[in-house]
Amino acid sequence: MFGQTDFIKYLIKTMRFKKPLDLLLKEAAQTGEGTLKRTLGPGNLIALGIGAIIGAGLFVRTAAAAADHAGPSVTLAFILAAIGCGLAGLCYAEFASMIPIAGSAYTYSYATMGEVVAWVIGWDLVLEYAVGAATVSIAWSEYLNKLIENFGVSIPYEYCHSPFQSLNGVHGIINLPALFIIVVLSLVLIRGTQESAALNGIIVIVKVAIVVLFIGIGWGFMKPINHTPYIPVNAGEMDFFKGHKSFLDYFTHDFGHFGWSGIVSAAGVVFFAFIGFDAVSTAAQEAKNPKKDMPIGILVSLAICTVLYVLFGHVLTGVANYKEFEAAGKEASVAYTIETYMHSYHWLSLLVTVAILFGFSSVILVMLLGQSRVFFSMSKDGLVPPVFSAVHPKFKTPYKSNLVFLGFVGVFAAFVPGDVVGDMTSIGTLFAFMLVCIGVMILRKSDPNTPRPFRTPWVPFVPILGASVCLLMMLGLGKDNWLRLIIWMAIGFVVYFAYSKKHSLIRKGIVNVPKDPLNPHL
């Protein structure tokens, strides 16, 4: 029998199957046919990060986190999530500047922790990008209907919902708007990264302007009573600290429902709002000057969005009481707040809906870009079929990969309900961030002399703290999401042993890998 101990031993042995750092640096310097075109400057990268960060997380998850977990202290949850992202972002910046290759955390893990861990990360990122893009496209469909209803038009229920959904006896057939936006944005990506970045830049300007407008106007409508108490009481938490409740009982029943534990859980929920900065690193191979521009793109976009998030959460829970979001509908919380408490600002409600549509569009765009770039790198290593690394002769984009994911994401968007995935995207991304933090420490030991244009400060303190904060937020997401993550990873290992292990270029000896004298056939 191949037990748990045997698997751990196997995992340790396979850590020697690392992609040599000098090979990665040679790949980064390649130009010509079969490579991606370097067209992105620091402004494009910052806009790319903001485009992916400000979207569903800000407009939808804020109210959900406030109503179910943190109340007005959702702002503290944003700060906790931002700290975790900031620490991970410093680690990402070091990797992205020294290994400017498409693939993000997958590529970094391959260089530091070996092939099996790299595969786990690459498979895990499907949750973040492909499944996340499909989920956001379904929300895009819902908000499109909300917008056109203001003009007396609506899409029939059966053509904007999954076959697994029904309302008043009417069953959905296909979600055409969700499929439409996936098709349009996939074609934009195939046309070229520079064109995609230009479109994303326009979207970013519009939605950031509307977010700032809501903060500025809404500030004058806030009521101090809505922020009192700032951290709602968790009775179980109080009993636990007084010694009236056991550790297990507290974490089973009361953890995450307001109080300080509610802030931790809310941080895991709103973390979905921050995952976009990771997408910046997937475009490293298309940056004009990645050693300088990648850290700027990652850290500046994260800083801008954190400020906007905290102010937005503060205003939203100040204008309307967080308890109202339980009944008012979490997805329509911003429009509800404006219509109910900010009279004569109906036009702002319409603009917010437009901003949400724009926000969702840019999030989908960057997620589709990120997914194709991760599988581009995995295909170059032989872990997924060659179709994912085929580059268009004219546009210099991985067009076949874009078409494959157009089909996969499109089917999910058209025929699967949007609430199926839940918080899987957040827990998967946190797992990836945690491994990136650990990878920085490993590479500092294994390759200390490699030039690092950007160096993560205070190593190992920053990486250890970053990994710890990410793990804390993962714990806050609850056992159900852990179970889903484990099942998804189990499916990934089946794919790895059935295909990837047999086709790995490193295992085939195409890349020089030292032999294990104890097990030369591993």
Q: Which two tokens stand for residue 476?
A: 């806050």
Computed over every residue of the chain, the mean pLDDT equals 79
Which pLDDT does position 177 carry in this prediction?
A: 93
CB 170 within 8 A of CB 157: yes
Q: Which of 88, 85, 93, 450 is nearest to 287 (CA)?
A: 93
317 contacts 74 by C-beta, under 8 angstroms: yes
For residue 311 the two structure tokens come to 């102010």
196: which residues sit within 8 A by CB, 6+ positions away?
Answer: 188, 189, 365, 369
Contacts of residue 202, defined as CB under 8 A and 6 or more positions apart, other chains included, come to none
Enumerate the domain spans of the chain: 49-503
Instruction: Read off the pTM.
Output: 0.75
Please tell me the distance from the alpha carbon of residue 278 to that of residue 104, in angstroms, as a whole number: 7
pLDDT at 522: 38
Structure confidence at residue 473 (pLDDT): 81
Q: Cα separation of 355 and 58, whole Å?
A: 11
At 516 the pLDDT is 38
- Tokens 């690092």 found at: 452
Residue 423: per-residue pLDDT? 58
Please state which architecture CATH assigns to domain 49-503: Up-down Bundle (1.20)
Please check whether residue 132 is in contact with residue 425, taking contact to mean a CB–CB distance below 8 angstroms: yes
Cα angle at 73 between 68 and 74, to 5 degrees?
A: 60
Residues 181, 203: Cα–Cα separation, whole Å? 14
* SS3 of residue 166 by DSSP: strand
Read off the pLDDT band of 465 (50, 70, 90).
very high
Residue 482's pLDDT band, with cuts at 50, 70 and 90, is confident
Whether residue 253 is predicted with pLDDT greater than 60 in this model: the reply is: no
pLDDT higher at 157 or 370: 157
Per-residue confidence (pLDDT) for residue 521, from 0 to 100: 39
Looking at per-residue confidence, does 343 or 517 come out higher?
A: 343
Q: How far apart are CA 357 and CA 59, in angstroms?
A: 10
Which tokens is 317 given?
Answer: 């829970």
Coil, helix or strand at residue 173:
coil
Q: How many distinct helices (H) and strands (E) make up the chain? A: 24, 2
End-to-end CA, the chain: 18
181's tokens = 């936006």
- Residue 517 has a pLDDT of 36
Q: Which of 26-30, 151-155, 333-337, 353-357 has the lowest mean pLDDT?
A: 26-30
At residue 238, the pLDDT reads: 62
Amino acid (1-letter code) at residue 193: T
SS3 40: strand
- The pLDDT score that the predictor gives to residue 520 is 39
**Nearest alpha-carbon partner for 125 in 139, 101, 109:** 109
Q: Is the pLDDT of residue 515 over 90?
A: no
| pLDDT on residue 225 | 95
pLDDT above 90 coverage of the chain, percent:
15
Give pLDDT, residue 315.
Answer: 96
Give the whole-angstrom CA distance, residue 201 versus residue 235: 46
Residue 472 pLDDT > 70, yes or no?
yes
The label of the residue with tokens 């941080």 reads 267
pLDDT at 76 over 80: yes
Q: Mapping DSSP to helix (H, G, I), strand (E, B) and coil, where does residue 202 land?
A: helix
